[in-house]
Each structure stands twice: as C-alpha cells, then as structure tokens.
Amino acid sequence: MLSVERMTTAGPSPRGGLAGRLMPPQTLWDNVLATLDDVARRLQLDPDVLAVLREPERELVVNIPVTMSDGRVEVFRGFRVQHSSARGPCKGGIRYHPDVDLDEVRALAALMTWKCAVVGIPYGGAKGGVSCDPAHLTEHEIRSLTRRFVGMIMPVIGPNRDIPAPDVNTNPQVMAWMADEAAAMPGRSSIGIVTGKPVSLGGSLGRREATGLGVAIATRELLHRRGQPLEDTTVAIQGYGNVGMAAATFLHQMGCPIVAVSDISGALYAAGGLDIPTINRHVQAHPRFLLEGYDQPGLERLSNDDLLTCQTDVLIPAALERQIRADNALAIRARVVVEAANGPTTPEADAILNERGVVVVPDILANAGGVVVSYFEWVQNLHGLFWNEAEVNRNLEHIMTSGFDRVWRFSGENAVTLRTGANMLAVKRVADAVRDRGMVR
C-alpha cells in the first residue's frame, strides 16, 4: 500500500517517536490520496497532472438482483472503478467479500495503476467487487451473481478497454463464467475479455501461482542484496490461500525454512521449519482447503495475530489489508516484511517499522507477479499463440527482477524507503503518460 511520510502537529504518543506524530487517514482511499500528495511533492509534480491522478476516470455502481435457492430475491451491490487508462487498457481483479465498498474499490484501482507502472507493463489500473459473503452462497447463487454482474458492467469492460481478473474469493471458475456470459452477448466473444481463466478457455499456464512466485522472487532479491543466505532465513506467512501457499512453496524450494503459516482456522508454528509439501497435500485434501487438522512433531498452534509477531526473519502478510497496524507494529520481530496482500500495512505502522529499521518490500512491487502473468495471458489471447509454463516463468522472472532492481537503485540514490521509491517511480511514469497524451496543457 502507498505509505504516508508526512508530519502532523499532533502531540506525542505515550510510546513516543514517529508513531505518535503521524495521524493515519481513516480509509484506504484516504491513505492512497495522502501518499499520492506526498509523492507529488517529492516529484514537484505539475498540479494539473496531480488533479488528474487524484480522481478515478470512471466509477460504476450496480445493484444485482439474484434469485436465491429458497426462491427469494436478494439484491447485491457491485462496483467497477477505472482509475487510469493513461498507460493502456485498465486492469484489475474482482473480489467477492462482505467488506467491499466504493472507497475500497477506488483505492485498489489506484494501487493497480501504480503496480502496473512500477513493473513497466502497459496497463492502467481498475478494480471491481461485489459486497457479498461467498461462504454463505451456493455455487448456483455465485454463478447467477457472476453472470448478472458481468451483464451490468459490460458497457465499461473489454479486451481493449478494461480486463478483469480473479481477486479475493474469485477464481478461474468465476472468470470462466464471466467469459462465457460475455461471449453470449453480440460482438463480445473475445476470450481476452478477462484473465485468470482456466487453461482450457485460453488461460495462461503459470497464472495461478504467479503472484506467489513473484513474492518469492522479490523476497529472494532483497535477501541477496542484504547478504542473507536463503537457507539461514526463516519465513512466516499470514494467509495460506492461493498466494500464501504458492509463496511458501517456492521459498521452501529456494531453501528458506518456513516456520509459520496461517489461515482462518488458525496459525501453525514450528521453530525448526514446517513440512510445506505435506501441508500443501493436507490443504488440498481438506473439504474447505484449510490448515485445520494438520499436525507434525514440534508443532505449536497460534492465533493469526500471534503469527504476525512470532520469531522469524521475514514476515509475509498474504491475507487482507490493514493487518499490520499501530497497535501491533512495535511487536513485529521480523526484520523484513514482504507485502503479498494489497495494503496490509497502515501508514502509521509503516512509519513505526521504518523507524525501527524494518525493511518493507511494498505491495505494488512484491505482489505484481499476478498482473504480470495476466498481461502475458492477454497478449497470448490477442495473438492466439500460447507459451509453455517455463517460458511464462522465465518472462515473469525477468520483469520482477528488473523491476526490483530499478526500485532498489532509485531508492538508494534518493535515500528513501523502498515503498517511497516504488511509489515515486510509478507515479512519474503515469504522470509522463498523462502529459504525453495531452490530457493537461
């Protein structure tokens, strides 16, 4: 998430230090705007360009009627926000979650703009979502909801305009329903209208693991630059969904001991390292794909909150936003945080971590692997030429390592944190596109 690095006139906290002098905005969108303003000041950005970047290009709110299994009709609220198309078609996932609202979606759309820009792929940022709880919906209800939602946002999406993808609580099956619904509409048969599809419907090999692989690559690159051998570096991962599992698997293969993982059923900790292949088999066999019921010698059971503060060298938050906050940042024992989730660290917590010397690899860089391979899928769809998984991973590796290197060098040259460096690079690229397109005089 974008961080805020500006001082306020608030009095000192009982803890003292920078944390007590920073007042975080109340919403994720406020956080994004506050940090955009801070980055604009650092870049001495043209006020007219800043005015463009502070407002999404388009916001669509829809009310989706769905006939439920018991015969009643329930109306769900859905959103699609396009923040910027200055650098190319908009790109961003669709999430199904009870907490989805317009402020969250517009903030995540802006973060997608910066994420695509920082790794240099020709997309702008978008995001979508439906306020619902999939855990309380049948498969038939989710399918009906998805098809109606697609029909209602169809006027603003398309392979050359805005390409949705999976996000929280959506998956390749949901993307397949979306693509099929779009194909049933006149002139909308392109398989490139969404990414993250099943391979049988034009999806890309390697897409499912891409975000987690990108997180693992970013972690490896940072450790190499810090001179830390992977085999001597312990890792804890909060969130063991698709991204967390993939990150754990790849880091385990690279030699890192994974000492803690968690999901909604709780956290597992083993100081000597967890048996990741066995855990993966357990999760895949569990009826709800959970860690629940797993056991191994030397295992301790923790809460999700305890995982964040457990003894580890690297902490990877891979769940939802706002997990590392002012009330727990001082207790974080990891010296490195790699943000696999979007916006897992609040601005006040980010300031505390920075003051304590904790290095944070920001989300717009660390978790960009998913959108990079979504870009590969889109390119493959447009050209009708598909790559093997080794080629996908090789190209992902190139983009992630190049992006990390640019952010690392820029941050060092300008004596700023990796988050600030990534934000500055991203905003400058989008600002240049806004000017070059003649959107401001």
Q: What letter does residue 360 receive in the DSSP assignment?
A: E
pLDDT of residue 322: 86
Q: How far apart are CA 226 and CA 228, in angstroms?
A: 6
- Summarised one tens digit per residue, pLDDT across range 281-297 is 999 999 988 999 999 99
Residue owning tokens 């769900």: 76
- Is 53-191's fold the same as 208-366's? yes
According to CATH, the topology of domain 53-191 is Rossmann fold (3.40.50)
Give the three-class secondary structure for 7: coil
Residues marked as catalytic: 127
Contact (CB, 8 A) for 419 and 338? no
pLDDT of residue 293: 93
- Token reading at 313: 């060298």
Q: How far apart are CA 216 and CA 219, in angstroms?
A: 5
Sort residue 136 into left (φ over 0), alpha (ψ -120 to 50) or beta.
Answer: alpha
pLDDT of residue 191: 81
Residue owning tokens 């998913």: 370
pLDDT of residue 187: 58
Contact (CB, 8 A) for 362 and 401? no
The full set of domain ranges for the chain reads 53-191, 208-366
Residue type at 248?
Answer: A
Contact (CB, 8 A) for 335 and 354? no
pLDDT of residue 188: 57
Q: How far is CA 21 from CA 2, 10, 13, 25, 351, in A?
A: 18, 5, 7, 13, 10
Per-residue pLDDT of the chain (441 residues; tens, 9 = 90+): 333 332 222 333 333 343 344 444 478 899 899 889 999 999 999 999 999 999 999 999 999 999 999 999 999 999 999 999 999 999 999 999 999 999 999 999 999 999 999 999 999 999 999 999 999 999 999 999 999 999 999 999 999 999 999 998 999 999 999 999 998 886 555 788 999 999 999 999 999 999 999 999 999 999 999 999 999 999 999 999 999 999 999 999 999 999 999 999 999 999 999 999 999 999 999 998 899 999 999 999 999 899 999 999 999 999 988 899 999 999 999 999 999 998 899 889 999 999 999 999 999 999 999 999 999 999 999 998 899 999 999 999 999 999 999 999 999 999 999 999 999 999 999 999 999 999 887
Q: Where are the beta strands (DSSP E) in 306-428?
A: 314-317, 336-338, 359-361
pLDDT of residue 386: 93
Strand 73-84: give its sheet, edge to edge: 58-67, 73-84, 124-131, 90-97, 162-166
- Token reading at 45: 């950005």
pLDDT of residue 387: 95
What's the CA angle centered on 176, arms 170 and 180, to 5 degrees?
135
According to CATH, the topology of domain 208-366 is Rossmann fold (3.40.50)
Q: What is the DSSP string of 15-69?
A: T-SGGGG----SSHHHHHHHHHHHHHHHHT--HHHHHHHTS-SEEEEEEEEEE-T
pLDDT of residue 68: 97
Contact (CB, 8 A) for 43 and 24? no
Give the three-class secondary structure for 131: strand
